[in-house]
Amino acid sequence: MSCCYIGLNKIYIMEYNKRNGVLPIIFIHGAGATGSLWEYITYKKFDGFYQIVIDLPGHGKSPGDGFRSIEGYADFIESVVIELGLKDFVLAGHSMGGAIGLQYALKFQSKLRGLILISTGAKFIIPIEMLQLVKNNGIFYEHAYSKVTPFNIIKKIETEYYKTHYMVRYNDLLACNNFNIIDKLYRISVKTCIMCGENDVITPPEYSKHLHKNIKNSQLILLEKAGHMVLWDQPEQVSKVITKFLKVL
């Protein structure tokens, strides 16, 4: 593994298995999170692929204030793609990261070999009380996990969330709330893998089912005993699904 800052904005990325001829995968975290969200999924899981894990602007170790729209984040991802010289790659996103992936596919689909969408949707409905909680520097962790998520895992994830300023987290949720591409999904034709925890209450399984119904070249996997943070609830299962998907690209 290597870590570095790239571009004029000094965006922090973690790279695994970088070498010529290897298919790249960019991993995008969700609202208010950091690249550490993918800790149990990347690195040793996909040895045959060049893995790029990003801290979005204003998140984790990346400076900046983030963006107030999903499209702004998608355009940022394109700037990273250009900086790294990528022309054929897979994009994987969790929650807001999945929305960024969808928006990116709408604008730059020809560059994508595949799309992995985890716990996300073509539209979000963020309750006002949740927005207010985050604006007041609170965390809505009770909604993000399943009942079987170990407390030590919850504590570790929440520690990562506090590395991002609460107003960046708030603006992320506003960006999600304003995101709606329901009537544009038919335009996405790249091979797509969709995953969701059966107990997800933030982006319920119905969101993923809608994606699967409207993205013609897609597959849908629902994972048992998993909530919104399926990457930590069921990391082995998520990794197996991704591995199987990558083999057919």
Residue predicted with more confidence, 41 or 59? 59
CATH (one of 3.40.50.1820, 3.40.50.620, 2.60.120.260, 3.40.50.970) for 2-246: 3.40.50.1820
What does the alpha-carbon distance between residue 70 and residue 72 come to, in Å, rounded to a whole number?
Answer: 5
- Of the candidates 246, 244, 232, 240, the residue with the CA atom closest to the CA atom of residue 119: 232
Average pLDDT over every residue of 120-137: 87
Residue 20 has pLDDT above 70, yes or no: yes
- Residues 211 and 242: beta-carbon distance below 8 Å: no
User: pLDDT of 45-69, one tens digit each?
Assistant: 787 899 999 999 999 999 999 999 9
Average pLDDT over every residue of 188-207: 96
Tokens 């013609």 -> residue: 216
Task: Give the per-residue pLDDT at 140.
Answer: 61
Average pLDDT over every residue of 102-126: 97
Least confident of 80-94, 153-167, 217-231: 153-167
Q: Torsion over CA of 189, 226, 134 and 208, rounded to 10 degrees?
A: 20
Residue 210 has pLDDT above 90, yes or no: yes
Residue 126 has pLDDT above 90, yes or no: no
Q: What are phi and psi of 114, to 5 degrees?
A: -160, 165
